[in-house]
Amino acid sequence: MSLIIQKYGGSSVASTDHIRRVAMKVASTKIRGNKIAVVVSAMGGQTDQLLALAAEITNNPPGREQDALVATGEQVCAALMAITLESLGHKAKSLLGLQLPLITDDVHTRARITEMQTGKIAQILDEDIIPVVAGFQGITADGSITTLGRGGSDTTAVALAASLKADCCEIYTDVEGVYTADPNICPKSRHIKKISYQEMLELAGLGANVLHSRAVELAQKYQVPLVVKSSFGGEKETWIVNEEEVMENSIIKGVTLEKNVSKISLIRVPDRPGIAHRILSPLAEAAINVDMIIQNASIDGYTDFTFTIPTTDLSKAKELISEVAREIDAEKMLAANNIVKVSAVGIGIKTNPGVASRMFHSLSAENINIEMISTSEYRISCVIEEKYGELAVRAVHKAFDLDNVKEETEI
């Protein structure tokens, strides 16, 4: 008897009709002789509606209360899913993050799991009841509700699979797994059958909205077999596995476009040792992830300092950095959110010299100016003007021979 964790995203549970369809899929998995636990996101659009309510009041709701607010979305969905499973004749129980409990740190709105207790859910599984876990949410050691950040339900599912030593963690979403590029942007993109954890991690971190980065990280760490499928019944799926299990290794596995990017520049900063730390530590304290950083060569003891952050953190970051700017006597602060990040991801990058220059060339051939560059073993990223984003993805996709020339090929 296998133990399977199935996670259903917001678009898969967007209405009670959707929930009924998902419940029948869950039931059929159980009837085939498996043990099953379900993890659900909020019904599609629900989280945004809740955030919109808070936004009617203030732009800066306290994290603790924002988490208590949005966690209701998954709670509603878990209860409705349990009700539906019961109406189909299967015993089911909803479980909130705080009922598991899934313990997290106290960084509200983007908490990290510190402990997943499984006694309660294991008991429910033993009683042949289907546990329906509200994803995305946890509880601090002192009892405040937390959330794991956008896409956090994936992380809940993988953490459960790891803790329960499940045979497989299935992530159901509104697409048939992972593509070489977003098909909406790049019609010639191809479906990927197998991808390494490391590549998937890069893709997830770069705005490919198929899987949450931390979920992939956890899956790799605990070697959880992970598969992404369509909840709408498509045949295709993408397995996320160890590097050595991926047979066909093209140099580049995928091209991504990340839109949630803003940059802040501090102009004419007195160039003293420790200045970067001085500028960036308030952001670290506020748990704002700084992505790329550029510090110009120092001229006359002054330098310019530019970094990128998620646009969702821009207003908070501007507030913090404008204070720093006064304290360190920077001439001025500039901020912009009309930029995007285009990235090429693949295991082949570390072993194939010339990949970066091939990417830069494909952009310049389209007259696209590169504002910032960063690279890693598995990734090359370029920040460019927002309006060129889609064009850049198609150009890079073509440059690395990823374009689908026949009907429906996969890699």
Asked if 86 is part of the footprint of its own copies (rule: CB under 8 A), the reply reads: yes
Amino acid found at 83 = I
With contact defined as beta carbons under 8 Å apart, do 147 and 136 qualify? yes
Determine the Cα–Cα distance for residues 135 and 20; give it in Å rounded to an integer. 18
Tell whether residue 122 is a contact of its own copies (CB under 8 A). no
| Residue 80 binds to its own copies (criterion: CB under 8 A) | yes
Q: Which residue has the tokens 């003293």?
A: 272
117 near its own copies, rule: CB under 8 A:
no
**Cα–Cα distance between 303 and 5 in angstroms, integer?**
52
- Cβ proximity to its own copies: between 59 and 367 the closer is 59
CA quadruple 233, 170, 227, 242: dihedral, nearest 10: -170
Interface residue with its own copies among 11, 30, 34, 69 (CB under 8 A) is 69
Beta carbons of 325 and 266 less than 8 angstroms apart: yes
Q: Which residues contact 243 (CB under 8 A, 6 or more apart)?
A: 196, 197, 198, 347
Q: Are 166 and 126 in contact (CB under 8 A)?
A: no
Q: Which is nearer to its own copies, 131 or 389 (CB)?
A: 131
In the shown chain, the binding pattern of residues 37 to 66 toward its own copies, with x for contact by CB under 8 A and - for none, equals: -------------x--xx-xxx-xxx-xxx
138 near its own copies, judged by CB under 8 A: no
On the 0-12 / 13-18 / 19+ scale of CB atoms within 10 A, 401 is: exposed
**From the list 12, 29, 47, 75, which residue makes contact with its own copies (rule: CB under 8 A)?**
75
Binding test (CB under 8 A) with its own copies, winner from 3, 51, 83, 294: 83
Which C-beta is closer to its own copies: that of 4 or that of 80? 80
d(CA 368, CA 363): 5
Which of residues 60 and 281 has its CB atom nearest to its own copies in the complex? 60
Q: Give 285's contacts (C-beta < 8 A, 6+ positions apart).
A: none
Residue closer to its own copies (CB basis): 71 or 162: 71
Q: For residue 407, give the 3-state DSSP assignment.
A: coil
Ranges within 88-107 binding its own copies (CB under 8 A):
92-94, 96, 98-99
Binding string, 3-42, against its own copies, x = CB under 8 A? -------------x--xx----------------------
Parallel, antiparallel, or unpaired for β 35-40 and 3-8? parallel
Minimum distance, C-beta of residue 262 to its own copies, in the bound complex (Å): 24
Pick 48 or 271: Cβ nearer its own copies: 48
Among 6, 41, 84, 381, binds its own copies (CB under 8 A): 84
Q: Which C-beta is closer to its own copies: that of 57 or that of 405? A: 57
Phi, psi torsion values for 294, nearest 5 degrees: -130, 130
Distance (Å, whole) CA 403 – CA 255: 11
Who's near 284: CB < 8 A, 6+ residues apart? 290
381 binds its own copies (CB under 8 A): no
C-beta closer to its own copies: residue 144 or 256 = 144
Site size for its own copies, by CB under 8 A? 39
State the minimum distance, in angstroms, from the CB of residue 8 to its own copies: 16
- Closer to its own copies by CB, 143 or 274: give it: 143
Nearer to its own copies, 79 or 185 (CB): 79
- For residues 45-62, one letter each, b for 16 or more C-beta atoms within 10 angstroms of the residue's C-beta and e for the rest, the string is ebbeebeeebeeeeeebe
Shortest distance, position 254 Cβ to its own copies, whole Å: 38
Of 11, 30, 34, 79, the residue at the interface with its own copies (CB under 8 A) is: 79
CA distance 160 to 147: 16
- Where do contacts with its own copies occur on this chain (CB under 8 A)? 16, 19-20, 50, 53-54, 56-58, 60-62, 64-66, 68-69, 71-72, 75-76, 78-80, 82-84, 86-87, 92-94, 96, 98-99, 120, 143-145
